[in-house]
Amino acid sequence: MPDEGLGRVRPERNEIDMNATTPLAPFSTLAEFREILAAAPDCDQAARDAAEARNDRLTKPPRSLGRLDDLAIWLSGWQGTPKPAVDNPQISVFAGNHGVTQRGVSAYPAEVTEQMVLNFQAGGAAINQIARSVGARLTVHAIDLDRPTADFTQGPAMTEAECVAALAVGWNALLAGTDLLVAGEMGIGNTTAAAAIATALFGGEPRDWVGRGTGVDESGMSRKAEAIAEGLAANPVASEDPLEALRCLGGREIAAMAGIIARARVERVPVILDGFICTAAAAVLAKAVPGAIDHAQAGHQSAEAAHRNMLLRLELDPILTLGMRLGEASGAGVAIGVVRAAAACQSGMASFAEAGVTG
Ligand SMILES: Cc1cc2ncn([C@H]3O[C@H](COP(=O)(O)O)[C@@H](O)[C@H]3O)c2cc1C
Ligand SMILES: O=C(O)c1cccnc1
């Protein structure tokens, strides 16, 4: 990874795709995408069983590493080995623009999305520093930033072709050799899109799912809830089909996160989810296909108010709770260090027999 000597690490230039065109993918409709996801193999149960047996023999009271033991066994199942490793973690950040920003739903203007992509490129964002600190390869994918999605209060945010193209950007972004994947996002207005998806998937009132995002005040919260109510009324199909919720209410970066998380499921690559928007992308998959996010752990619980509720609905237990509310894959990026420690203990510790310790 190039280092500018300023303590900054930027992604390789050719990994910043400022104007992605439709890449090839094995699906050309949402129905085909769902079928491929539904056919994904489960984890390697034999490797998981072997990992549990190995874990019980390591020089510690049984399960005394708590969540680390759980993470190690989970990793083992998806990596297909009782000795898992986090040698080659990948962080991919997807960026998209949202038509719903014209409803005054963010504390920042839409042009910040592209400006932040340039900041990622220059190595100046939080995620650049976090990726470096955990030794992760960072890729950034700006998806049609000059073509915001349609304002979902007026009709579907995306056509099926647009949604499929964004899914394909994510699908094709998984790098060979990645042993742990983190997906994240940049898109001004996307806490409103994610809250709209959550309302469609889980029900309840828009108010239950909106939060302050980049820091809107009470009237901003009301504008978010109103936009979501109008979006649900304008897109009735969104409440009936999870992938339609993604298409009608989501955005390109949310679809791309869903695409790479799905690809990881098919390739049996373990995933750490980031905050509110990333979890909404995962929720679409979980609702579309049972078991679709069995390969994923929640990296953290965001300070975005409704994230806790979304994690509860998905039966996900966050690894960290640090009061973060940034996105960009930042919370999940930090959690890579925890997951790596879990893998190191599972794979590197001596057994009672090896160490001559009385068990
Ligand atoms: C400078 C800046 C950097 C960011 N990095 C992530 N986000 C986060 O904030 C946005 C969502 O919040 P909302 O729905 O309120 O617009 C997303 O881009 C998300 O990634 C940022 C936001 C800003 C302003
Ligand atoms: O939870 C997140 O990831 C989040 C929260 C607020 C703004 N952007 C991202």
Ligand 1 center–CA 71 separation, angstroms: 29
Ligand 2 lined by 224 (C-beta under 6 Å): no
Nearest ligand 2 atom, CA 331:
3
Arch. (CATH architecture) of 14-41+85-346 = 3-Layer(aba) Sandwich (3.40)
Nearest ligand 1 atom, CA 95:
18
Nearest ligand 1 atom, CA 113:
18
Give the residue from 253, 134, 124, 270 showing the smallest Cα distance to 194: 253
CA-nearest residue for atom 7, ligand 2, is 213
List beta partners, residue 137.
90
Q: 230, 253, 328, 354: which one is catalytic?
A: 328
What pTM was estimated for this model as a whole? 0.96
Ligand 2 center–CA 139 separation, angstroms: 19
- CA 263 vs. chain centroid, Å, equals 12
Q: Could you report the per-residue pLDDT of 187-206, keeping only the tens digit for each?
A: 999 999 999 999 999 999 99
Residue 176 tokens read as 């060979």
Average pLDDT, the chain: 95
Residue 170 reports pLDDT greater than 90: yes
Residue 243 reports pLDDT greater than 60: yes
For residue 41, with 0-12 CB atoms within 10 Å meaning exposed, 13-18 middle and 19 or more buried, which class applies? exposed
Mean pLDDT value across residues 132-149? 98
Query: In testing the pocket of ligand 2, which one of 276, 316, 330 has its CB within 8 Å of the most ligand atoms?
Result: 276
How far is it, in rounded angstroms, from Cα 42 to Cα 267?
10
Domain boundaries, the chain: 14-41+85-346
Model ipTM over 0.85: yes
* pLDDT at residue 14, rounded to an integer: 47
How far is it, in rounded angstroms, from Cα 89 to Cα 75?
13
How far is it, in rounded angstroms, from Cα 323 to Cα 308?
12
How far is it, in rounded angstroms, from Cα 243 to Cα 241?
6
- 12 an active-site residue? no
In the numeric block, the tokens 């790596």 are attached to 340
